[in-house]
Amino acid sequence: MTKRPLAAVALAAALAVGAAACGGTTKNSSSGDDTKGAAAGGATANPNAPLKKGLKLAFLPKQVNNPYETIVDNAGIEGAKEFGGTAKEVGPSDASASSQISYINTLIQQRMDSILIAANDPNAVCGPLKQARSRKIKVVAYDSDASKDCRDVFINQASSEEIGRSEIKLMSELIGGKGKIAILSATANATNQNTWIGFMKDELKKPEYSGIQLVKVAYGDDDDQKSFQQTQGLLQAYPDLKGIIAPTTVGIAAAARYIDGSKYKGKVAVSGLGTPNQMRKFVKDGTVAKFELWDPKNLGYLASYAAAALASGQITGAEGEKFKAGKLGERTIGKDGEVILGPPTVFDKNNIDNYNF
């Protein structure tokens, strides 16, 4: 009975040596390093390992027709060229919980070195991602995290707590600390939005916000039309609403468009997370005073380098490990395998023209 596992171990070791010795022509060459790590306890990073050439990365965004995700992924695809890798983007056209599963399965069959995923649901993608990891495919979550045990690292655009709390501070400023507000989110399962909303609710408990009442969290599913209709519905249900926070680039643009063309313009503040290019018109015409974001290009670029560092054995995803992320410099992995890009920027009419994304 013990023969089988022993034989399997011997075979794996032989394959590893073989792959390391001949360099390998396919992604099998990466399993050599992984096996070395496993032999030493499964978590040995070699910070001096060179980045492997020819790495194959695949970006799997929440949905392919979201302009934000497109910017992130294109920058990641460009970034991979710097270290001699190739990257592509594949993904669903809707951001529902299970829409990414079949894509993960296909990427496993295609023997990618790394799958980079903005998870539509932290748990729905877990089984397939675990399958990927068992086949030595490194899993990088970016933008929206998968459950911690199904990915190697999470590249977060900014501290989730900072994003959530600052959204409330900003809205409070805009409405003079008083009145009813609503949140227009993306999908009900999105890890990133739900984490931010959790911090918003916590921030609202502070005495300085006692005049603000959160009346509803609505979901536009990162669909422009649905987000527009949800905004309309919010104003119908709460005609005395003072503000809408949309922590989604799709949602904030749709909410601003609705308010801009309605009798609520100038009465209802719209804020949240948006891209300067989508929001410029609304900032200039006074519909939106301030909103936040980070540079999505840097998020994709950082994710690409993290994938390469993992696939090359430089890092394993453990707290404290460091890797070089090209022009973004050295980055350190924090608690729970999280790497934070940097603080968000607040955009308003004074600075919006300095940004083009």
For residue 93, count other CB atoms closer than 10 A to its CB: 10
Pairwise CA distance, residues 96 & 59, whole Å: 17
Q: Among 61-69, 122-130, 261-269, 314-322, which window interacts with ligand RAM (CB under 6 A)? A: 61-69
**Host H or E run for residue 198:** helix 191-204
* DSSP calls for 259-302: HHTSTTTTTSEEEEB--HHHHHHHHHTTS---EEE--HHHHHHH
CA-to-CA separations, 67 to 207, 225, 240, 250, in angstroms, rounded: 38, 15, 32, 8
DSSP 67: H
The distance of closest approach from Cβ of residue 118 to ligand RAM in the complex, given in angstroms and rounded to an integer, is 6
SS3 call for 108: helix
Residue 66 interacts with ligand RAM (CB under 6 A): yes or no: yes
Q: Among 226-234, 237-245, 246-254, 310-318, which window interacts with ligand RAM (CB under 6 A)? A: 246-254
Residue 218 interacts with ligand RAM (CB under 6 A): yes or no: no
Residue 62 interacts with ligand RAM (CB under 6 A): yes or no: yes
The residues that bridge with 345 in the sheet, in sequence order, are 293
Residue 120 interacts with ligand RAM (CB under 6 A): yes or no: no
Residue 278 interacts with ligand RAM (CB under 6 A): yes or no: no
Residue 68 interacts with ligand RAM (CB under 6 A): yes or no: yes
The distance of closest approach from Cβ of residue 296 to ligand RAM in the complex, given in angstroms and rounded to an integer, is 8
Counting residues that bind ligand RAM (by CB under 6 A) gives 13
Residue 186 interacts with ligand RAM (CB under 6 A): yes or no: yes
Q: Among 23-31, 130-138, 248-256, 282-290, which window interacts with ligand RAM (CB under 6 A)? A: 248-256
The distance of closest approach from Cβ of residue 297 to ligand RAM in the complex, given in angstroms and rounded to an integer, is 13
**Host H or E run for residue 255:** helix 249-260
Q: Among 173-181, 203-211, 247-255, 326-334, which window interacts with ligand RAM (CB under 6 A)? A: 247-255
The distance of closest approach from Cβ of residue 163 to ligand RAM in the complex, given in angstroms and rounded to an integer, is 9
Q: Among 207-215, 242-250, 261-269, 343-351, which window interacts with ligand RAM (CB under 6 A)? A: 242-250
**Host H or E run for residue 153:** strand 153-156
Pairwise CA distance, residues 261 & 316, whole Å: 51
Pick the closest to residue 247 from 185, 295, 188, 198 (CA basis). 185
**Closer CB to ligand RAM, residue 45 or residue 303?**
303
Residue 99, CB-side half-sphere exposure with 13 Å CA sphere: 21
Q: What is the CA radius of gyration of the chain?
A: 22
The distance of closest approach from Cβ of residue 187 to ligand RAM in the complex, given in angstroms and rounded to an integer, is 8
Quick note: the x/- pattern for ligand RAM over 142-171, rule CB under 6 A, is -xx---------------------------
Residue 295 interacts with ligand RAM (CB under 6 A): yes or no: no
Q: Which positions lie near ligand RAM, rule CB under 6 A?
A: 62, 66, 68, 118, 143-144, 186, 192, 222, 248-250, 273
